[in-house]
Amino acid sequence: MLFELAHITKTFPTAQGRITSLDDVSLSVGEGQAVGLVGESGSGKTTLIRCALLLTQPDGGAVTFDGTSMLGATREQVRQFRRQVQLVFQDPFSSLNPRMTVEELVGEGLVIHGIENSAARRRDSVAEMLTVVGLRPDDMKRYPNSFSGGQRQRIAIARALAIRPRLLVCDEPVSALDVSVQAQVINLLREMQKALGLTILFVAHDLAVVRHLCAHVYVLNRGKIVESGSRDQVFDHPTHPYTQALLAAVPIPDPRRRPPRRQPAPAAS
């Protein structure tokens, strides 16, 4: 396994005592896989991502990347981790520094990790990355506020992928976008996964999106993994009542297919 979270526990102190945000959460992501993590708001998704990316120290458990335990890792090990694990945020309007040009944003990782030290080579690299995510290289002199939400998310993906990470964590990357743009971004992620051999941990509350992209699915409810398995297993034969409720809540666009409530939605294409 490329990336493993084992028995992660995280609590937060409040006036009413400690609140358990994550309770013994374990999940693993194999190299080249796309794994989905589904849960509603407040289920602990964001806390899990923060723990997974070493932004918060969990109370207990282990984070292992490529065989290295990352809790209590050395500076150099953390630097290597940052080089290989990247994040795409939910809201492309707040995840891009408004005072940096697209070139600076996409090229920042190349600077930080000393991958391309010459400005000219870096510009070529950025141009190439922009083309890959479907933007024009001419766009690199512009600032993020002159782009639409979907374009911004492409910039964010280019920024994350510019340093060629092995694992991309996506925190609800399309939920802030229009439905028509959602599919474009999801398809882009899917292409990236295939073309670059990228491993993806995809966190979302939208089941249809997860179903389209992820071969393996975890369901998080109130800080616990209540169900996990392959896409077909979880979507066709959910065992946990929470998963069943989630699936029942997915609107089915075709009225003739609606009555048998638990029938799965047709796979989007």
Partner 1 sequence: MTLAAVRRSVQSSGKLDMFVFALTGFLIFLAIFGPLLAPDSIYRSDIGNALQPPSGAHWFGTDDQGRDIFWRLVAGAQATLLSSVLIVAAYSLIGVAVATIAAVGPKWLDELLMRITDIGLALPGLIVALGFAAALGPSLESAIIAKAITGWPVTARLLRSILMQTMTAQYVVGAQVLGASKWRLMTRHVLPNSLDILIVKWAGDIGATVLILAAMSFIGVGAQAPSAEWGAMVADAKGYVSSAWWAVAAPGAMIAITSVAFSLLGDILQVWRDPSLRDSR
Task: Tell me if 203 contacts partner 1 by CB under 8 A.
Answer: no
> Which C-beta is closer to partner 1: that of 33 or that of 95?
95
Name the segment binding partner 1 (CB under 8 A); options: 12-20, 62-70, 152-160, 222-230.
Answer: 152-160
In 96-240, where does DSSP find H-type helix?
Answer: 102-112, 119-132, 149-161, 179-196, 207-213, 231-236
Q: Which are the contacts of 118, defined by CB distance < 8 A and separation ≥ 6?
A: none
For the bound state, the minimum distance from the C-beta of residue 90 to partner 1, rounded and expressed in Å, comes to: 8
List 109, 150, 173, 238, residue binding partner 1 (CB under 8 A):
109
Q: Tell me how far, at minimum, the Cβ of 97 lies from partner 1, in Å.
A: 4
Task: Report 59-98 residues binding partner 1 (CB under 8 A).
Answer: 79, 82-83, 85-87, 89, 91, 94-98
Per rule CB under 8 A, count of chain residues that contact partner 1: 25
User: 171: Cβ–Cβ under 8 A, 6 or more apart, which residues?
Assistant: 45, 46, 49, 87, 88, 89, 90, 203
The reply to whether 166 sits near partner 1 by the rule CB under 8 A is: no
Q: For residue 225, what are the contacts with CB-CB under 8 A and spacing of at least 6?
A: 25, 26, 27, 218, 219
Cβ proximity to partner 1: between 43 and 86 the closer is 86
Distance CA 102, CA 158 (A): 10
Cα–Cα distances in Å, from 160 out to 126, 138, 153, 183, 249? 12, 19, 10, 19, 33
Q: Which is nearer to partner 1, 35 or 53 (CB)?
A: 53
For residue 24, the SS3 value is: strand
The correct pick among 53, 133, 192, 200 for binding partner 1 (CB under 8 A) is 53
- Nearest distance from residue 166's CB to partner 1, in Å? 14
Position 100 contacts partner 1 (CB under 8 A): yes
Residue ranges that bind partner 1, judged by CB under 8 A:
53, 55, 79, 82-83, 85-87, 89, 91, 94-100, 108-109, 112-113, 156, 159-160, 163
